């Protein structure tokens, strides 16, 4: 974390304040902790500009994967923990963790049996809240991401319509809340028609480079009861497989 401090403009008296730098940082980190949807897994760099009561400004830069948590404060100090491994073990899920429906679970088991040392699952069944949170960061950078990523359906059209009609909603957390409000009104069949992650009929796999990756791609394409698969979503490399029941 790098911190750059700027003093108030010349000739401006800074008002007295009992708040310390530790207090200000503590507030910032609590915001990060309370709005995890705005700091998704895989984020490598986050910058925050903070205006202090004293009139000074802080520019904070957090680097490393976004697996950050706030620790206890001791003697006015704020402890800040970040996991710096390229892929932390908790980023991957076991087949049981995926909570898949029967066909998708069978496909996941078959794939892992074929490539036990290479296949790492990153996503399975998602609640509506998690689905919205997974989508929102992509929309922050591309307001047409839904339209460009999901097959045309009444559900994808409804979500894209919400994004288009709310141009001032720009943070990942606020976008996620809006998407969730739309999806919450759908039936289970409508949810499944939009994303089979919601019903446990899909999983994602961590991309694998090189020859071994090509073998895994071929194996995914040949999984039983496969409904559809892709290795690119909205310009991102995402290995996704979804299944019929």
**pLDDT tens-digit series, residues 189-230:** 999 999 999 999 999 999 999 999 999 999 999 999 999 999
Q: Is residue 87 a part of any domain in this protein?
A: no
pTM of structure = 0.60
- 11 with 42, same domain: the answer is yes
Whether residue 169 sits in one domain with residue 98: yes
The answer to the question of residue 199 being in a domain is: yes
Within the chain, strands assigned E span: 2-6, 45-51, 57-63, 69-70, 80-81, 121-123, 202-205, 226-230, 239-243
Over range 46-75, report the average pLDDT. Answer: 51
Domain enclosing residue 131, as ranges:
92-243
Structure tokens at 155: 């559900």
Partnered with residue 202 across adjacent β-strands are 242
- Domain count along the chain: 2
Q: Does the pLDDT value for residue 77 go beyond 50?
A: no
Claim to verify: residue 23 and residue 68 sit in the same structural domain: yes
Q: Is residue 86 part of a domain?
A: no
Residue 28: predicted pLDDT = 62
Judged against a pLDDT cut of 50, whether residue 69 lies above it is answered with no
Of 1 and 229, more confident? 229
Shared domain check, 115 and 70? no
- CA atoms of 180 and 195, how far apart (whole Å): 13
SS3 label, residue 205: strand
124 and 10 part of one domain: no
For residues 164 and 193, state if they share a domain: yes
Same domain, 122 and 34: no
- Do 140 and 182 fall within a single domain? yes
Q: Is residue 98 part of a domain?
A: yes
Q: Which residues contact 7 (CB under 8 A, 6 or more apart)?
A: 14, 56
């Amino acid at each position: 974390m790098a911190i750059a401090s700027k003093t108030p403009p010349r000739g401006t008296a800074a008002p007295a304040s009992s708040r310390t730098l530790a207090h200000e940082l503590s507030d910032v980190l609590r915001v990060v902790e309370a709005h995890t949807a705005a700091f998704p897994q895989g984020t490598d760099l986050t910058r925050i500009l903070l205006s202090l009561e004293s009139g000074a400004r802080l520019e904070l830069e957090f680097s490393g994967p976004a697996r950050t948590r706030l620790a206890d404060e001791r003697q006015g100090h704020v402890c800040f923990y970040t996991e710096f491994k390229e892929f932390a073990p908790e980023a991957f899920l076991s087949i049981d963790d995926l909570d898949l429906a029967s066909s998708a679970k069978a496909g996941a088991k078959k794939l892992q049996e074929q490539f036990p040392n290479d296949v790492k699952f990153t996503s399975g069944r998602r609640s509506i809240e998690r689905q919205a949170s997974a989508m929102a960061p992509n929309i922050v950078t591309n307001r047409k991401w839904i339209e460009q990523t999901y097959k045309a359906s009444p559900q994808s059209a409804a979500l894209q319509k919400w994004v288009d009609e709310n141009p001032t909603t720009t943070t990942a957390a606020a976008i996620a809340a809006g998407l969730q409000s739309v999806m919450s009104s759908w039936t289970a069949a409508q949810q499944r028609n939009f994303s089979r992650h919601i019903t446990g009929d899909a999983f994602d796999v961590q991309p694998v480079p090189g020859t071994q990756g090509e073998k895994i791609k071929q194996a995914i394409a040949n999984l039983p009861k496969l409904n559809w698969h892709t290795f690119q979503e909205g310009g991102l490399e995402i290995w996704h497989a979804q299944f019929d029941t």
